[in-house]
Amino acid sequence: MTSTREYSVAIVGATGAVGSELLKILEERRFPIGELRLFASERSAGELIELARGEVRVDRLDPEGFRGVDFAFFCAGGAISAEYAPIAVEAGAVVIDKSSHFRQDPDVPLVVPEVNAADLEARERGIIASPNCTTIPIVVALKPIADAVGLARIVAASYQAVSGGGKRGIETLSRETTNLLNLRDAGDGGSSVFPHRIAFNCIPQVDAFMADGATKEEAKVVAETRKVLHLDELPVAVTCVRVPTFFGHAVALTVETERKLGARDAERLLRESPGIVLYDTSSERPYPTPADVGDTDAVHVGRVRDDPSHPTGLQLWVAADNVRKGAALNAVQIAEIVAREL
C-alpha cells in the first residue's frame, strides 16, 4: 500500500508461526511502519529479529508497551488477547486479533476483506477479529455463490496442516517422521499438541471435544461462517481432520443453493472474484493441493462440479496457505483498509 503517513505497529506473539509470517508480509506489502514493537513470552524476550529495517528486539509483553501504538496485532492466543487487547485499545490502538476470543462478540466485527470489508465500519470497541484459518478459505469461496443464488446448506470436511498447531505442531511432525524413518518409536503419542501420532496418520479431531460430539474447531468454523456471511441460520456441518502436511489447509465443500447454479456458471463467478485462483475442471490440472498453495495469497478452488445427489447442489475443493491467507495476510489486509481511514 502507499501512504504518506507512517504508523506505530505492535505485534504480540511476534516469534510464533503467525507472528513471524505477519512480519514478513508487512515488509513485502510495504506497510508504512514508523515504529515497530515486538512482544512475546519471557522465553523469547531479548531475541533480535533481523528485518529489512534492521534488527528489532523482542520484548516481554508489558501494558505500558502500547502507548502511542496505532495498530496492535495479536497472534498469541485467546487468554493474552482477553487480557491485553482492551489495554491496547485504551492506549489508542486499533487491535486486530487473530485469536478466537472476540470472534463471536456482537460488538466486534469478524472480517475477511474479500467478503465483508464493510463490517469494518462497525468497530465501536476498537477491536477487529480475524477468523479461523479454515473459515477464511471457505467464506472466500462461498461469497460469490451466496451473492448469486443464495445458500441453503453447507457441508465441509477440512484437511488441516500441522502448522495450525503453531511451531510446536511443525516440530512434532518433523520429529515423529524422522523417528519413524529411522525405525524408532515416533514418540509424542498423546502429546499436548496432537491427541495421537500425526506422522503418516490423520486425526479426525482438531481441538477438544464438546458435549454434542463436535470439536471446538468445528464449532468455530460453523459460527464464524454464519457471522462473516451474515447468515445466522445457515445450516452448516463441519468435520475437521488434522493431516501430516506442514502447511496448507484444504476443504471439501458440498453446497446446496437456494436457486440452481450449474457448475460452469459457478466457475465463471469464482474466476471473476477477488482473491480466488480457479483451476478449470477441463484442464490437465483441475485442482490445487496443499503443496501448491504454500506462500501464496489467494484461495485456490478446483474440482467444481454439480452434485448428482441434489438438484441445487455443488461440490468444490478449496485450499489455501493457512498461516499466510488463513492468518497473517488477512490481518494485514484488514490493517491496510483501516489505515486508509486514519
Query: Crossing angle of helices 17-28/166-181, nearest 10°?
Result: 110
Does residue 208 share a domain with residue 254? Answer: yes
108 within 8 A of 127, measured Cβ to Cβ: yes
Tell me whether residue 174 is in a domain.
no
pLDDT at 188: 55
Tell me whether residue 235 is in a domain.
yes
CA separation (Å) from 38 to 70, 109, 144, 158, 298?
A: 14, 25, 37, 33, 27
CA separation (Å) from 57 to 38, 44, 295?
A: 7, 10, 26
Tell me whether residue 274 is in a domain.
yes
pLDDT in tens, the chain (342 residues): 666 799 999 999 999 999 999 999 999 999 999 999 999 998 899 999 999 889 999 999 999 999 999 999 999 999 999 999 999 999 999 999 999 999 999 999 999 999 999 999 988 889 999 999 999 999 999 999 999 999 999 999 999 999 999 999 999 999 999 999 999 988 755 556 999 999 999 999 999 999 999 999 999 999 999 999 999 999 999 999 999 999 999 999 999 999 999 999 999 999 999 999 999 988 888 999 999 999 999 999 999 999 999 999 999 999 999 999 999 999 999 999 999 987
Does residue 141 share a domain with residue 36? Answer: no
CA dihedral 23, 26, 30, 34 (to 10 degrees): -70
Domain of 126 in residue numbering reads as 7-130+327-341
Out of 75, 101, 240, 249, which one is annotated catalytic?
249
337 within 8 A of 109, measured Cβ to Cβ: no
Domain count within the chain:
2
- DSSP reduced 3-state for 272: coil
The candidate with the shortest Cα–Cα distance to 25, out of 228, 215, 297, 259, is 297
Can 249 be counted among the known catalytic residues? yes
Q: How many CB atoms lie within 10 A of CB 53?
A: 9
Tell me whether residue 244 is in a domain.
yes
Out of 101, 133, 240, 300, which one is annotated catalytic?
133
305 within 8 A of 315, measured Cβ to Cβ: yes
Tell me whether residue 151 is in a domain.
yes
Does residue 293 share a domain with residue 153? Answer: yes
pLDDT at 67: 97
pLDDT at 92: 97
pLDDT at 277: 98
pTM for this structure? 0.95
Can 101 be counted among the known catalytic residues? no
Tell me whether residue 186 is in a domain.
no
Does residue 81 share a domain with residue 23? Answer: yes
pLDDT at 3: 61
The CATH number covering residue 63 comes to: 3.40.50.720
Tell me whether residue 171 is in a domain.
no
pLDDT at 216: 98
Distance CA 63, CA 241 (A): 37
Eight-class DSSP state of 297: -
